[in-house]
Amino acid sequence: MQQKDVLPMKPEPTEKRAATTAPLNITGSEAVIRSLIAEGVETIFGYPGGAIMPIYDALYDFQDQVHHILVRHEQGATHAAQGYARTSGKTGVVFATSGPGATNLVTGLADAYMDSTPMVCITGQVAAALLGTDAFQETDVIGITMPITKWNIQVTRPEDIPGAIAKAFYIAGSGRPGPVLVDITKNAQAAKFDFKYEKCEYIRSYRPVPVMDKDAVAEAAELINSAKRPYILCGHGVLLAGAEKDLIALAEKASIPVASTLLGLSAVPVDHPLYVGYLGMHGNYAPNIKTNECDVLIAVGMRFDDRITGDVSAYAKQAKVVHIEIDAAEINKIIKADVAVHADAKTALQALLGLVKPAKHDEWIQGFREADKQEEEKVTKKELYPTEGGLKMAEVVRLISERTEGKAVLVTDVGQHQMIASRYYRFKDPNTNITSGGMGTMGFALPASMGAKVGTPEKEVVAVIGDGCFQMTLQELGTIYQSEIGVKIVILNNNFLGMVRQWQQLFFDKRYSSTEMVNPDFVQIAKGFFIPGRKVTDRADIAAAVDEMISHKGAYLLEVVVEKEDNVFPMVPAGAPIANIRLE
């Protein structure tokens, strides 16, 4: 169906704003802090430097209202802001200086952009008169970050600061969320002006919430009602929209099995009777193969990433595709939709719920359970309950899941441990799976776990990290100690860059080029940052070690030495059809 453009009946004003503060004659730097407070910001992750020093000086007078967390690297600030945003539901905020400070934000900005995480980064910049002169620590941060932000702007006058920050928060948090960058020159920080803050509620030409086409919803409902083998793919958009209950209600009403993408994990409790597993290259066997057996595929808040589809030419060719997606650019980009519902996931699901008829698809669902048995026999039993050989990553994740009852916030880095944790942690609550999906950023988990804990201090936060990933951002142990952030850190150490090594084993004739690692003593490093820890090499000790870690008050590091050449299965070879998924 052709997506219709539905416009409002009458034009909106260019900008509609609500005043929140009375005019004050203050510096641009103070205006930054007051603007953030007006937006409800309570936490900032950052690192000071010359070009942003006036803003840090202004922050000094507002320490009772805004908590600043001093990271050890600007990349750590961005990942911490991501973890904070994804657990708290608020927009993460980052401060950095010009030049190298600003360029150190690039990886985190790209990660947040790919994974639709709301974040506002404020960078200092050299004085306006020096722009373009290659002044000390001058970098064109606007040009560098334009492709990886929803919006960015350079502010050279103090009177433009409140409006820029208001727009930044509106754009970052509305529609499909994402990162925004505001670059403020030093002269704009220092000069005074009459400050008045007004929250931004509308920007001409930016329409973050599409007007849903009711005819498309009706057509989608008709397809679902006529389906014999309907199948829901749940993506990150369900969590971003707060639509978890709506999705479950729809699935239950029409007896539709639900599978999750990597970033959609935790939207549906793993023990729900209609949940059939995790999609993707290292996902579960049943949800992958059944994609090519369903007759109606309902994709909600997901973008058909290549890790989900494999070879697109062989993907779900037998199925009618309903795609519910807030970002029009994602519709028909990878997989052609028979019915496209351009809408927020919650709005669309609630509308569908009233049109979809009750149904039963017991035989179809039973097919998933039969496929599960094959995976259990060939993979799962051996992974979760090994009786010989070295420790396996899966049995460690199983113990953590049992001890936390599936209710902890699980923050994973990138690689084999990420796939294992995603497969075997038994998620119970929404927004408890924090990982780097689209960008696959090594070094993500340690700083992201800091932000996740600050965002949800009442929850246990466990970071599961590989030995290679940990060494990318281990300096953030200093932040954890100084800011007293009680995260639990689990290093699954196989002395390899494990995922690369697996590919080298399977596809490059075991030519292990630059993947074996000689690692330091991780427990001693943690102790150097005054964080207690323990190293486990024997299966007999692992249960007690996990108990000790979980019961410890405050931060704790547990290193577990796992099998050196332990592979992750199932696996869809890169570029292959998903039906070619391998169990061994």
According to DSSP, the residues that pair with 408 across neighbouring strands are: none
Do the beta carbons of residue 248 and residue 286 sit within 8 Å? no
Q: Quick check: 343 and 237 in contact, CB under 8 A?
A: no
User: What pLDDT does 516 receive?
Assistant: 83
Q: How many CB atoms lie within 10 A of CB 580?
A: 15
Residues with Cβ within 8 Å of 503's Cβ and at least 6 positions away in sequence, in order, are none
What pLDDT does 507 receive?
81
Instruction: Work out the percent of the chain whose per-residue pLDDT is above 70.
Output: 96
Report d(CA 192, CA 53) in Å as an integer.
Answer: 16
* Alpha-carbon separation of residue 332 from 41, 60, 302, 342, 464 (angstroms): 37, 50, 12, 11, 35
- Kindly tell me if the per-residue pLDDT of 3 is higher than 80: no
Q: How far, in Å, CA of 322 to CA of 131, rounded?
A: 49
- For residue 379, report the phi and psi dihedrals to the nearest 5 degrees: -130, -60
Residue 147 has pLDDT above 60, yes or no: yes
Q: Is the pTM of this model over 0.85?
A: yes
Distance CA 119, CA 526 (A): 29
Residue type, 490: V
Mean pLDDT of the chain: 94
Structure-derived torsion over alpha carbons of residues 336, 340, 344, 350, reported in degrees to the nearest 10: -130
pLDDT digits (tens, 9 = 90+) for 350-393: 999 999 999 999 999 999 999 999 999 999 999 999 988 999 99
Comparing C-alpha atoms, which of 323, 293, 325, 292 is closest to residue 309? 292
| Residue 532 pLDDT greater than 50, yes or no | yes
Catalytic residues: 74, 136-137, 186, 499
pLDDT in tens, 158-212: 999 999 999 999 999 999 999 999 999 999 999 999 999 999 999 999 999 999 9
pLDDT per position as a tens digit, 49-85? 999 999 999 999 999 999 999 999 999 999 999 999 9
What is the tens place of the pLDDT at every residue in 457-510? 999 999 999 999 999 999 999 999 999 999 999 999 998 877 888 878 878 888
Angle at which helix 28-38 crosses helix 161-173, to 10 degrees, equals 30
- Would you state the torsion angle of the CA atoms of residues 363, 364, 365, 368, taken in this order, to the nearest 10 degrees? 110
Sheet holding 151-155, edge to edge: 67-70, 43-46, 92-96, 119-125, 179-185, 151-155
Q: Among 16-20, 301-305, 513-517, where is mean pLDDT lowest?
A: 16-20
User: For 13-17, 214-218, 272-276, 427-431, which range has the lowest pLDDT when averaged over its residues?
Assistant: 13-17
pLDDT (mean) for 78-100: 98
